[in-house]
Amino acid sequence: MELVGEEKKIQALFSELRLADEQAAPSFIGVWNRAQLRTRTRVSPLNFSLAATAFAVFVAVVALALWSGSRPQTPPINQTVAITPVTSPFTPVTPPVTPTTTTEPTPKVITVVEQRQAARKLRAARFAARQRAELLAARRAEIRDATAISSWQSPTATLLSSQNDALLNSLPQLNESVKELKSFLPNK
Amino acid sequence: MDIAELKAELEQYHAACFGWALSCCARDRAEAEEVLQTVYLKILEGKARFRGEASLKTWLFAVIRKTAATEYRRNLLRKLRVAVSSEQVSKREPAGGEVDAAFDRSEEQVRFRLALQHLPARQREALHLVFYEDLSLREAADVMGVSIGSARQHYERGKKRLREILERTEVDYGISWRGKENPGAV
């Protein structure tokens, strides 16, 4: 850049400033070595946060594992699912083959469709069993509630009882004689 | 670039870098040294990586400028935390007294430094990069992260403002800045 007049003056002042700064500048090696030392001793905040996150995740996983281990297991559904061989509609119809003389058992070929059907049946059976269990539990709860209601007694029931309860609550029987009935009538 | 090569290059630019760091830190020597150390640390850790998009000097100056700004903000927050009076934290005080004590220099130089401190940051940066570091306006614009037009404007306004401040101090001190010949002029 070509400098003129005033700019030269400014540059002269800056040059003088630069000379003074160069004399006062710290040595490169010293600054570099201190920076290197800081590199070794410094723990990056990113690394620290990563380590903290990893530790938190680890603790959470361990807690979850312990919790799931101590949780009471639901009784296994004792149910056998009979998988009946199903003829797949996709299997080609083979013509009847004459029996051969070989005695080796033919390996059972389980097609993908059969596997899917079996899995579907198993799922359906599990669903039905779960529904039955839920229904049974609901009925049990209903019975328990009904028992509790029938045996319930008001806390103030004792206040209503008196010595003449037997007289008030009893009714004359139909086959009783008139004389006996008279006992209910007022004395004249 | 290999770290050993980079180290050699950095050593070559060390004095210039320190000068620029001083300018970015309002002539605070300790802070400038801290900034320079942080810059070297960034380079060592690979946080600041030279990709050859600009010249090494321009890149280095841009890193120093950015680091100085970050350090300044950090120091400001630190000061706010310790509840220093708002006057002290709101404005950087020109380190005039320190300058006087540290170096035995001409009165004109002292006035020049104080005048620089009274310039807006952008204008001071533009003047420093052009006159002190001998960068072109385009390179200065790259370092400052502005367009060349903007850099030129800061440069021109900075010159004008500097002249005004120096003339005002001449009146105060009774010295003619314009009339004096400087043998060190380029």
pLDDT of B154 > 50? The answer is yes
pLDDT at B176: 53
- Between B144 and A178, where is the model more confident? B144
pTM above 0.95, yes or no: no
Which residue type, as a one-letter code, is found at position B101? A
Q: What is the DSSP string of B9-32?
A: HHHHHHHHHHHHHHHHTTT-HHHH
Tokens representing B137?
Answer: 């306006």
Distance, CA of B109 to CA of A19 (rounded, Å) = 12
B44 touches chain A (CB under 8 A): yes
pLDDT at A122: 94
pLDDT digits (tens, 9 = 90+) for B4-61: 888 888 888 999 999 999 989 888 888 899 999 999 999 888 888 888 888 888 999 9
| pLDDT tens track, chain A, 188 positions | 555 677 888 888 888 888 888 888 888 988 888 888 887 776 566 677 888 899 999 999 999 988 887 766 555 544 444 454 545 455 554 555 555 454 555 555 668 888 899 999 999 999 999 999 999 999 999 999 999 988 888 888 888 888 888 777 777 777 777 666 666 666 64
Contact between A40 and B158 (Cβ < 8 Å): no
Q: Which of A10, A25, A36 sits opposite B131 (nearest CB)?
A: A10
Distance, CA of B60 to CA of B64 (rounded, Å) = 6
Q: Which of B130, B184, B185 sits opposite A1 (nearest CB)?
A: B130
Contact B184 A25 (CB under 8 A): no
For residue B46, give the nearest of A45, A39, A50, A31 by alpha carbon.
A39
pLDDT at A4: 65
Question: What confidence category does residue B141 fall into, taking pLDDT thresholds of 50, 70 and 90?
Answer: very high
Contact B159 A35 (CB under 8 A): no
Enumerate residues 6+ apart whose C-beta is below 8 A from B86.
Answer: none
Contact B131 A14 (CB under 8 A): yes
Residues of A in contact with B185 (CB under 8 A): 8-9, 11-12
The residue in chain B having the minimum alpha-carbon distance to the alpha carbon of residue A12 is B185
pLDDT at A50: 86
The residue in chain A having the minimum alpha-carbon distance to the alpha carbon of residue B11 is A28
Give the CA radius of gyration of chain B.
Answer: 18
Contact B40 A7 (CB under 8 A): no
Tokens 């007294």, residue?
Answer: B97
Q: Which of B7, B15, B38 sits opposite A32 (nearest CB)?
A: B7
Tokens 């359906």, residue?
Answer: A124
pLDDT at A80: 47
A3 touches chain B (CB under 8 A): yes
pLDDT at B186: 44
Contact A39 B44 (CB under 8 A): yes
Distance, CA of B21 to CA of B38 (rounded, Å) = 11
Q: Which of B7, B41, B127 sits opposite A39 (nearest CB)?
A: B41
This model of the complex carries an ipTM of: 0.72
pLDDT digits (tens, 9 = 90+) for B79-131: 777 755 555 444 555 455 554 444 545 777 888 888 888 899 999 999 999 99
pLDDT at B185: 44
Contact A14 B128 (CB under 8 A): yes
Domains of chain B and CATH, by start? 1-93 (1.10.1740), 94-176 (1.10.10.10)
Contact A12 B186 (CB under 8 A): yes
Tokens representing A34?
Answer: 């201190």
